[in-house]
């Protein structure tokens, strides 16, 4: 069962690679017309995400069409709260909404620790289908939200610039906050282990809202829970991507993860110094892909010069934006492959 292209896994483990592996956060389901066709057929995001055959199809599209070095399972971080008993809706052009929220100890009684096989079986089935179709061409990335980022959505009930409801709870009800974070963590560990069992070769933790916390709060309310996940997932490499948490790079680098994801605010050289013995992933500004082809090539070359070609996985510094031209994405991928070889 050896992979034909295992560049990403070798880079994650700190082994030598002939060139830099490349994939894009949110590569499945944002930019491709082929995605929109399947999405149309499904009728809604949730129908698409919960139908394993269709979720598998859109997972494979970026591998076939863009030539990335890994697939990432098509799903969402919000399937975990739903599996715990808090359903979400996806409002067109607006994003996710939770009709009910969790803001007190009493609300916690309505939640359970997710059982991956029964509550998230549709994701596991999609993973098994993708693995069959991939036929060992490239690795499959599994993922989950970091407990703090999931806490943000469960308490706030929707997206927010400040997540002030979520942050207020950290200050006013630490006991409740820690109880909810622990329930999310236990659910997430079981879910990620089940993803690995179903065939995920590496898993990424998205702490998308890390950057709204102070260093002290991050140390109290996010890192300890990410640490539990890293310590529990021993079967495959773990990537921790904490958007905006430039202040926590050194501490994240001391977790038992293999890869640290960086956003574009984080300087490559400084990040190497702060995280000396792990693989780094990132970090091109997604807006670079709005520039002309020559400028994209120049920015990619500069990024690779800064990171070097070893212990490095090329990516954007956050998810690809929905209005990005797929040809620009291909240019990004091709330049990484050619320039780093
Ligand atoms: C915060 C977050 C969410 N979801 C996710 C995060 C963490 C990464 C990040 O910071 O961007 C993660 C995610 N969501 C989705 C994936 C698919 C796999 C991939 O391509 O990486 C992944 C990895 C599908 C999706 N998740 C969503 C869509 C669009 C829904 C649609 O097709 O109608 C897709 C393809 C919806 C979603 N889901 C979420 C939001 C805020 C939204 C609305 C805006 C948006 O499009 O991003 C929550």
Residues of the chain with pLDDT under 50: none
Task: Decide if 231 is catalytic.
Answer: no
Catalytic residue among 76, 107, 115, 173: 76
Q: Which atom of ligand 1 is nearest to the CA of 28?
A: 20
Residues of the chain with pLDDT > 90: what percent?
Answer: 98
Q: Is 137 annotated as a binding residue?
A: no
Q: Is 225 annotated as a binding residue?
A: no
**Does ligand 1 come within 6 angstroms of the Cβ of 43?**
no
Angle (nearest 5°) at CA 307 between 341 and 252: 130
Q: Does ipTM surpass 0.95 in this model?
A: no
| Residue-range domains of the chain with CATH | 7-340 (3.20.20.210)
Task: Decide if 311 is catalytic.
Answer: no
Question: Is the full-model pTM beyond 0.90?
Answer: yes
Cα within 13 Å of Cα(79), Cβ side: 25
Q: Is 30 annotated as a binding residue?
A: yes
Tell me, what's the pLDDT at 29? 87
| Residues with Cβ within 8 Å of residue 171, at least 6 apart in sequence | none
Tell me, what's the pLDDT at 93? 87
CA 119 to ligand 1 centroid distance, Å = 20
Q: Tell the residue nearest (CA) to atom 10 of ligand 1.
A: 208
């Amino acid at each position: 069962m050896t992979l034909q292209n295992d560049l990403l896994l070798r880079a994650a483990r700190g082994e030598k690679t002939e060139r830099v592996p490349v994939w894009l956060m949110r590569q499945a389901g944002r930019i491709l017309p082929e995605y929109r066709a399947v999405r149309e057929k499904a009728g809604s995001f949730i129908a698409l995400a919960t139908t394993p055959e269709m979720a598998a199809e859109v997972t494979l599209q970026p591998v076939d069409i863009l030539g990335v070095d890994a697939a990432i399972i098509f799903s969402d971080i919000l399937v975990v709260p739903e599996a715990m008993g808090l359903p979400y809706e996806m409002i067109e052009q607006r994003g996710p909404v939770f009709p009910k929220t969790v803001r007190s100890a009493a609300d916690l009684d309505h939640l359970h620790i997710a059982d991956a096989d029964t509550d998230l079986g549709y994701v596991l089935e999609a993973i098994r289908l993708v693995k069959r179709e991939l036929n060992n061409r490239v690795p499959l990335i599994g993922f989950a939200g970091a407990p703090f980022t999931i806490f943000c959505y469960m308490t706030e009930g929707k997206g927010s610039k400040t997540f002030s409801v979520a942050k207020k709870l950290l200050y006013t009800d630490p006991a409740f906050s820690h109880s909810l974070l622990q329930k999310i963590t236990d659910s997430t560990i079981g879910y990620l282990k089940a993803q690995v069992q179903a065939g995920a070769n590496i898993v990424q933790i998205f702490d998308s809202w890390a950057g709204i916390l102070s260093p002290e709060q991050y140390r109290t309310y996010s890192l300890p829970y990410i640490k539990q996940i890293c310590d529990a997932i021993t079967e495959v490499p773990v990537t921790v991507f904490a958007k905006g948490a430039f202040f926590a790079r050194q501490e994240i680098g001391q977790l038992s993860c293999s890869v640290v994801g960086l956003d574009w605010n984080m300087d490559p050289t400084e990040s190497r110094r702060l995280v000396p013995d792990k693989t780094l992933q990132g970090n091109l500004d997604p807006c670079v892909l709005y520039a002309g082809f020559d400028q994209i090539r120049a920015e990619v070359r500069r990024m690779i010069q800064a990171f070097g070609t070893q212990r490095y996985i090329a990516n954007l510094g956050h998810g690809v934006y929905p209005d990005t031209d797929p040809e620009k994405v291909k240019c990004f991928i091709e330049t990484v492959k050619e320039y780093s070889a």
